[in-house]
A and B are shown apart, each in its own frame.
Chain A
Amino acid sequence: MQTSSTSPHPALSATLVDMLRTYGPAIGMLGVLVVFAILKPVFLSPANIANVMHQSVVLIVISFGLAVVMSMRGVDLSVAQIADGAGLIAAILVLNGQPLWLVIAAPLAFGVGIGLVNGLIAAYVGVPAVIGTLGMMFIIRSGELMMTNGAEPQILFSLPRGLTRAFFFIGQGKIFGISALVLLGILIFMIMLAVMTFTPFARRAKAVGGNARAAMLAGIDIRAVFAGGFVIAGLLSAVAGVALVSRTGIAVPRGAEPYLLDAFAAVYLGTLLSRRAEITIPGVLVGGLFITFLGNGLTLLGLGAPFRYGLNGAFILLAMAIGALKRPH
């Protein structure tokens, strides 16, 4: 009775739009991949697929963190830089022959610490997150440059294997023939799914994202919740950064920066899979996988960075344009 549709054929156009909403994005993503598969059959070879899955973990884990912040209408431009810094710390510790627990614990502590500072600046001081985390990104970058004497790569793969075997297992090892990194990714996905479904934090975060004032009056500590998102983002980014260095055996300062753009694309694309264009953990997983497959396909076709950037941007804009259809005004 009170539908907002004003078109002359409400029933027909509503069904069409409904169809488009529900299946369009998924079909579109599949279509892109099918095109790659036709152009380069090797794209769908088991080896390539396993390779892409292996590669996608770092991006997906970073995107999870970004997604948590963005679901509260925040944004964290420093996620990729945190990953970068964390990886660098891990590499330097390995080079100095530190024990494995420290090699892992120190970067994670760094990620949590940066997340805390980001959260304090955004939630307690009130600096818009886009500004605060942009500033933080540059502060970390400076730190990295100074730590590495002007962006000298920290090379681990040329070290004696005895020193690096344990650390490299994270990114290169296999458990029962399955990449340990993929298993780590699945584990983190399960944990994030549980965290964002079954914890009081997730409910509160959703309320903060939906209406911060109402959430506050309902007795929610909105500042702590908002800051908490940045801490999660910091921690996950640090995990991803350590995994990246373990996978590649080298830590190049600023090497992880491109992940920022990919992560945005993954999160925005992920919203297409939800009925109300919301950010969801499974959506981010699919978005991250798609972006990695896309990059892989472009590489196979011999198309490099310009196309990746261009398509990432175009997909973000497309995702938002479709999302605009889904939301009530």
Chain B
Amino acid sequence: MSDPRSRQSETVIECRAIRKVFPGVVALDDVSLAITRGEVHALLGQNGAGKSTLVKILTGVYQQDGGEVRIGGEAVRLRDTRDAEARGVAIVHQDQQLVPQFDVANNILLGSEMTGALGLLDRGAMRERVDAALKRIDAGFSADTLVRDLSIAERAQVAIAAALMRNPTALILDEPTASLSDHEAEHLFGIVRGLRDQGVTVIYISHYLDEVLSLVDRISVLRDGKLIGTLPVDGVSRADVVKMIVGRDIAQLYPKEVVPIGQPLLEVRDLAHGHKLNGVDLTVRRGEILGIAGLVGAGRSELALTLVGALKRRQGSVTIDGRASDPATPRDAKNDGFSLIPEDRRHEGLVIDMTVRENLSLPNISRWARFGLFNPVAEANAARELVERLKIQPASIRPLTRNLSGGNQQKVVVGRWLTGNSQVFLFDEPTTGVDVGSKIEIYRQMVELARQGAAIIFISSDFEEISAMCDRTVVMAKGKIVKTFEDQCEATPEALLNWASATGQEEDVAGTSAVPADTGRVERLLSRWGTALGMVVTIAVIALLAPHFLGIGNIFDVLKQGSVLAFIALGLTVVLIAGGFDMSAGATSQFAANLAAGTLLAGQGTLAAILFGGGLGLAIGTVNAGLVLLLRMPPFVATLGMMFVAMGGTLLYNGGQALTLSGPPEFFFLGQGYVGPVPFVFILLVIVTALLHVVLKRTRLGLRMYAVGLNPVAANLRGVTKPAYAFASFAIGGLILGLAGVILSAYSYGASALATGVDFLISALAAAFLGSTLTKAGELDVVGTVIAAIFLASLSNGLILIGVSSQALPGVQGLILILSIALGVFRRRAIGQVLIF
């Protein structure tokens, strides 16, 4: 291993005549290449050339239809990613799936954690191993840094370190520098070279030719699913590589027409967003198609999204026809005359479960409305006309857009803007994954719009279509325009690729330094300790107004009252941790309380009461898990139904009567006893919480429960699948809820006749979410939950001591619930949708 050169000739991975066909497309055709040990081998090609398909075959995501893959000389058929990893092929994706709330060690070792005595995580050993891996790549952070606090570049390093932990023979890096600054990219190259010197084979995928040529040993170029050639970089010129990548295809038909070009319509000055878009100037005239060429991560989509107000503008000005346009939302932008055809048509362009007609009339539906009602006949006719005009297949306005082919879907996205008053059309990669016929139709529409005097921006990484269809072209890289071709004749595919793939050293410095400064120190302290501070202040104010509040007797009273609620909140928290939800939490505890009381009334003793109560909770939790995991119901609905069932069961069991207990005393001790001055139930709470804390934070099970709740995709990539751990959380949570019910009946000398679990539910939810705002990473946490539950109990107690009516207490709890959530979500506000279906 010390001398990689001596192994230079040994082949690690070999592809022999690989063929992969998708419906209608030959993605890979007779591709043969060999990667030798210890080299850095670049895969080059335009979008759609077949690079990602090849990588997916090598990592087991796809299986080849023909040919064979040999790893270490042995022919293999990789079933899935884990199979590939087992054979030593690891991949680092462009966008890293990590659990931000975990530290680096837990992220890297998720799925292969190290445990010591009693099954507890051996954090020491984990840290040691991870630190060793981090050292290999010279990382500037340690194993116990929270991933949340790392930059994008550092997260990429975490991913590389994670891949290295598996001791791969070959490491695939997919576009690793796309979202890095030059400085960060330079650091990454150092890491790659270091790995090569350690004998690791690296397959490097990138569009940036400069970095490729200075970093790698050999390159393989793909075009249209075929291997154009494999050659060492020594002695290859950049121009040669560009020629290989672009090639000269069979001339495709481009319906470009000459259209009179008028006055400037759209003027953009110094537009910037975050650090992805760093001061762009553009002018587009009426009737003009302006091409924006660039690679992934160049800031082209950010430009389009910033223009329509979907991303926040940092600086700059935009005018349409002389009128200033500063849209806060895409709706304002629509009114200003913008139309966006987004890059990802299935997720951003269409509402795929709506019909062609509904999608076509979506942005301008009020156009057909009068007095608040639209005229469905006129609307349908307009949609029909568009279907005809765009030649959408099938020629009907009725099908769901999800069932259309990619090309026809794209025509719908284009078509819906044709009915409005749009003047500026932003086409973001409109032809990716679109068949040739639809492509031509989309080009025709562009020309048609231009003829009508619209200004068109055409964003694409297919440089041939840019070259053929545009009147003028600019090239973007790293959030800036690096080249403007006033004369379209010069904007050949080669020239465009040449400019787009350059790294643009000198221009970048200003861009990265313009990143907004970190938030202030005070603000950070507040967001970390704000909740705790608020709690302390509240307690202090109450103590001031009601001195009796802090008396020893009262404190222990509060602890006793709070403990019962805290138990229910604990059970709920455990369910929430793995991404579930439990509407039935309160009703479950209530049912268990009744069952426990009934068991005692039947004379079966304390132990039986505890067993039955806990068992009931466990059973309900298991059924909930079954509904969610087997029938794939959203947790909200499943547990809502279960809540009804539990309430019905409770009433059936107690016959609508309160079950009042008069013994045995050892049972009451659970809820009402004291050890010295301390309530026994509180001691029990502390023990259970400590136990849960250890299980959740210090065992493999707990770590994985958190992982599937916080980022199921990341967990899945590490082989931690959701069902097992979601099941565990429902079952454990259910058990605790059942036991909480037992304690409830011991505390209240029996069970009440009412079956309203909703009251417990809200207190428990408030405690769980308020508790989560106490933690460093803002994640749900049993200790936080218990502190919050006790706080809520003291608040109720204190308010009553001050003389506030007990009738106001539910309202106060409701308010705290809303506020504690609002604190957490206000900064990254979405709209509060829940998964109901």
Contact = CB atoms under 8 A, between A and B. Distances in A.
Interface of A: 2, 70, 72-75, 121-132, 134-143, 145-146, 150, 194, 197-200, 203-204, 206-208, 210-223, 226, 261, 264-265, 268, 276-277, 304-314, 316-317, 320-321, 323-324, 327-328
B349 interface: yes
A217 B330 contact: yes
B815 A212 contact: no
A134 B807 CA distance: 17
Given A125-B832, A128-B834, 6 more contacts: A121-B832, A128-B825, A128-B832, A142-B808, A198-B376, A204-B362
A328 B376 CA distance: 28
Contact of B818 (A135, A200, A216): A135
A206 B831 contact: no
Contacts of B836: 70, 73, 75
A72 B445 CA distance: 33
Most A CB contacts (10 A, CB to CB) among B416, B633, B648 go to B648
A146 B807 CA distance: 6
B347 A211 contact: yes
B26 to A, nearest CB: 18
Contacts of B350: 211, 214
Contact of A217 (B308, B361, B766, B828): B308
A141 B656 CA distance: 23
Given A313-B643, A324-B631, A126 B826 contact: yes
B627 A219 contact: no
13 contacts: A72-B833, A129-B832, A131-B817, A138-B814, A138-B817, A198-B376, A199-B372, A268-B637, A305-B648, A309-B645, A316-B640, A317-B641, A320-B638
Interface string B796-837: 000000000101111111110110011001101111111111
B362 A317 contact: no
Contact of B817 (A134, A145, A197, A277): A134
Given A73-B833, A198-B374, A310 B365 contact: no
Interface residues on chain B, size class: 35 or more
A132 B766 CA distance: 11
Given A128-B834, A211-B347, A320-B631, A121 B822 contact: yes
A265 B643 CA distance: 12
Given A74-B834, A128-B821, A320-B633, A138 B813 contact: yes
A69 to B, nearest CB: 10
B815 A135 contact: yes
A132 B829 CA distance: 14
B351 interface: yes
A142 B638 contact: no
Given A124-B829, A137-B814, A221-B329, A310 B821 contact: no
A226 B833 CA distance: 9
A130 B809 CA distance: 20
Nearest to A264: B640
Contacts of A139: 810-811, 814-815
A136 B818 CA distance: 8
Given A304-B656, A320-B638, A207 B648 contact: no
Contact of B652 (A73, A265, A310, A328): A310
A276 B831 CA distance: 25
A127 B633 contact: no
B331 A138 contact: no
Nearest to A261: B644
Given A305-B648, A306-B649, A309-B644, A206 B358 contact: yes
Contacts, number: 261
B39 to A, nearest CB: 41
B100 to A, nearest CB: 18
Interface in B599-657: 627, 631-633, 636-638, 640-652, 656
A276 B829 CA distance: 30
B95 interface: no
Interface of B: 23, 308, 310, 329-331, 333-335, 340, 342, 347-354, 358, 361-363, 365-366, 369, 372-374, 376, 402, 416, 581, 627, 631-633, 636-638, 640-652, 656, 755, 761-762, 765-766, 769, 805, 807-815, 817-818, 821-822, 825-826, 828-837
A222 B351 CA distance: 13
A230 B648 CA distance: 29
A142 B832 contact: no
Contacts of A323: 837
A210 B351 contact: yes
Contact of A213 (B348, B354, B646, B828): B348
Contact of A134 (B363, B811, B814): B814
B22 to A, nearest CB: 12
Given A74-B834, A125-B822, A216 B814 contact: no
A143 B811 contact: yes
A262 to B, nearest CB: 10
Contacts of B633: 317, 320-321, 324
A247 B762 CA distance: 31
Nearest to B654: A306
B331 A214 contact: no
A203 B365 contact: yes
Contacts of B821: 127-128, 131-132
A23 to B, nearest CB: 21
Contacts of B349: 214, 217
Which 8 pairs, one residue from A and one from B, show the smallest C-beta to C-beta distance? A313-B644, A142-B811, A310-B648, A126-B829, A138-B814, A219-B334, A309-B648, A145-B807
B372 A312 contact: no
